[in-house]
Amino acid sequence: MVDLLVQLYNLESARHFRASVKAGKTPEAPADTGSTSEALGSPCVPSVSISFYWWGFRIHMDHCFCSSLNPVTVAGDAGMVAVLLLAAGIDVFASPWFALAVALILTMVAWIVLADSYCTPNSGANYNQSWTVQGWITTVC
């Protein structure tokens, strides 16, 4: 299932890139380019890949994907979800679970951004997930 989700993300990312190019808009590479294709001015197309191991799986997120993550944007999205839930009559502030979920997501996003910026050139980050416990982020050096 995870493999299918990764493939769907990569297809959607490539489709969005092709639509932008057809519309005459070339997506800009991030300012802190790390790979040679980005350094030469080629547009940045985010992609992820997955590898399976006996202990679990690893999702590699390239630098373009990692640079698209922004903890401030994620926090804003969480706020919008809270407003929508409140409008639907669900009191998100009465339960600590919503705050816990937001805190965990923000922690993972910040961890990914930190792991991506740790190595020079920026080479992305790995999300590792064992079959039994919470996942963790590692650098790609």
pLDDT at 58: 94
- Spatial neighbors of 58 by CB under 8 A, at least 6 apart, are 50, 51, 126, 127, 128, 129
Give the span between the Cα atoms of 106 and 10, in whole angstroms.
23
Q: What is the pLDDT of residues 94-110, one digit of tens each?
A: 878 888 888 888 888 88
Number of domains in the chain: 1
Identify which has the larger pLDDT, 13 or 100: 100
- Mean pLDDT across 1-17: 66
- Identify the DSSP state of 32: S
Which residues span the domain enclosing 41? 2-139
pLDDT at 132 over 80: yes
Answer whether residue 128 shows pLDDT above 90: yes
